[in-house]
């Protein structure tokens, strides 16, 4: 009977090497799993902090909007012309939020590092693109006004015709509720790119035009000289600048006061010009820790009531510093 040959035992040094290698693999796996768990926990904390900051920012800016609505409501009770000399148009410089929350500095230690700034802007200080179309037809006088503003902005005047034609098509087909291929009705100046305008053209027009839900007159007490010269027939930039200088001392109480200062102009149309405004933009900026949030809200004042029509978040970014 033959004896079975036993395998030679592994050298002791080789055994120690295999054990060390196994231990290193186990340690590597444990470290990898631990690192993954730590990263997931850190990520969850970051997501929660970002969500908390977003919610805080939304609540704070909503509170600022309510504050602006209160100011506009109280101003409406006075039944005065809307002009830039009113306190409500004073820009709110960036201020620490806790200064609004408590007069006692001892109670503000736990307040968030939030800084708020904002401004109320008269939306009727700019030319309303919606005026280009009335009913189902383009208004030639309004197209002429926009052409002049295009020249002022350094834009091809034919852009006015393009916008008016596309706006008319969008408005007619939207009213008819058809499925015919037509441009969408823009809700803001930035959306004029839907009519084929490039971004640079829209940016140049932005200081002079606005897109409001309804046709509106331009407010003589708040409009720039460029908008006044384009809206009032026979008025040049020099005469428009004189009107701007005059209203800085005192607001125009009625269009008759304006006509008295522009004797060569035809009687002013109250559908195109006014001394009061109903539409306003409430612009707010919040800097919370290392985040900055910009928001613009369009509101309409009807009597003493102030209605929020839309809210647009125009930017949200990291803060570069205080």
- Tens of pLDDT, residue by residue over 110-131, are 555 778 888 999 999 999 999 9
Has residue 3 been placed in a domain? no
Has residue 16 been placed in a domain? no
Average pLDDT, the chain: 83
**164, 189, 207 — which closes off a domain?**
207
Q: Quick one: 270 and 293 in the same domain?
A: no
What is the three-class DSSP state of 241? helix
Residue 286's CATH number: 3.30.1300.30
Q: Quick one: 133 and 200 in the same domain?
A: yes
Q: Quick one: 237 and 197 in the same domain?
A: no
Q: Quick one: 117 and 76 in the same domain?
A: yes
Q: Residue 318 corresponds to which tokens in the numbers above?
A: 């990291």
Q: Quick one: 197 and 265 in the same domain?
A: no
Q: Quick one: 265 and 291 in the same domain?
A: no
What are 128-176's pLDDT values in tens digits? 999 999 888 999 999 999 999 999 999 999 999 999 999 998 887 766 6
What is the three-class DSSP state of 65? helix
Has residue 12 been placed in a domain? no
Do 222 and 277 contact (CB within 8 A), yes or no? yes
Report the distance separating Cα 30 and Cα 139, nearest Å: 75
Q: Quick one: 132 and 146 in the same domain?
A: yes
Lowest mean pLDDT segment, chosen from 142-146, 276-280, 316-320 = 316-320
Do 205 and 153 contact (CB within 8 A), yes or no? yes
Report the distance separating Cα 148 and Cα 127, nearest Å: 11
Q: Quick one: 252 and 202 in the same domain?
A: no
Q: Quick one: 117 and 132 in the same domain?
A: no
Lowest mean pLDDT segment, chosen from 12-16, 197-201, 250-254, 291-295 = 12-16
Q: What are the DSSP calls for 186-200, one per residue?
A: -SSGGGGGGGT--HH
Has residue 228 been placed in a domain? yes
Has residue 163 been placed in a domain? yes
Has residue 22 been placed in a domain? no
What is the three-class DSSP state of 273? strand
Has residue 288 been placed in a domain? yes
Q: Residue 270 corresponds to which tokens in the numbers above?
A: 């109250």
Among left, alpha and beta (phi > 0; psi -120 to 50; other), residue 241 is alpha
Residues near 82 by beta carbon (within 8 Å), at least 6 away in sequence = 122, 124, 219, 221, 222, 251, 275, 276, 277
Boundaries of domain holding 186: 127-207
Domain count, the chain: 3
**184, 207, 230 — which closes off a domain?**
207
Q: Quick one: 191 and 229 in the same domain?
A: no
Give the up-direction half-sphere exposure of residue 284: CA atoms within 13 A in the CB hemisphere.
27
Has residue 20 been placed in a domain? no
Q: Residue 22 corresponds to which tokens in the numbers above?
A: 């196994």
Residues near 158 by beta carbon (within 8 Å), at least 6 away in sequence = none
Structure confidence at residue 52 (pLDDT): 65
- In 3D space, the residue among 127, 123, 96 whose CA is nearest the CA of residue 112 turns out to be 96
Sign of CA dihedral 306, 92, 284, 117: negative
Q: Quick one: 85 and 151 in the same domain?
A: no
- Residue 322: which pLDDT band, with cuts at 50, 70 and 90? very low
């Amino acid at each position: 009977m033959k004896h079975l040959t036993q395998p030679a035992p592994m050298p002791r040094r080789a055994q120690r090497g295999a054990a060390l290698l196994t231990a290193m693999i186990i340690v590597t796996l444990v470290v990898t799993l631990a690192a993954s768990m730590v990263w997931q926990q850190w990520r969850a904390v970051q997501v929660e902090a970002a969500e908390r900051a977003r919610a805080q920012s939304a609540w704070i800016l909503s509170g600022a909007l309510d504050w602006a609505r209160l100011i506009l409501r109280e101003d409406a009770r006075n039944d005065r012309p809307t002009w830039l000399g009113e306190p409500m148009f004073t820009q709110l410089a960036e201020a620490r939020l806790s200064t609004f929350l408590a007069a006692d500095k001892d109670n503000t230690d736990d307040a968030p590092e939030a800084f708020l700034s904002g401004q109320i802007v008269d939306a009727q200080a700019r030319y309303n693109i919606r005026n280009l179309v009335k009913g189902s037809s383009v208004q030639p006088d309004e197209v002429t006004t926009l052409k002049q503003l295009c020249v002022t902005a350094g834009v091809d005047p034919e852009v006015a015709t393009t916008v008016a034609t596309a706006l008319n098509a969008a408005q007619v087909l939207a009213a008819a509720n058809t499925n015919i291929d037509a441009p969408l009705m823009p809700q803001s100046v930035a959306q004029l790119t839907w009519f084929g305008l490039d971004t640079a053209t829209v940016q140049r027009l932005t200081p002079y035009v606005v897109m409001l839900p309804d046709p509106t007159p331009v407010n003589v007490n708040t409009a720039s000289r460029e908008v006044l010269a384009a809206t009032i027939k026979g008025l040049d930039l020099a005469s428009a600048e004189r009107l701007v200088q005059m209203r800085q001392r005192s607001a125009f109480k009625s269009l008759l006061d304006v006509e008295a200062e522009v004797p060569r102009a035809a009687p002013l149309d109250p559908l195109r010009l006014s001394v009061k405004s109903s539409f306003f933009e409430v612009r707010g900026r919040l800097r919370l820790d290392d985040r900055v949030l910009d928001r613009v809200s369009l509101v309409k004042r009807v009597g003493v009531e102030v209605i929020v029509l839309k809210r647009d978040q125009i930017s949200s970014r990291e803060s570069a510093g205080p």
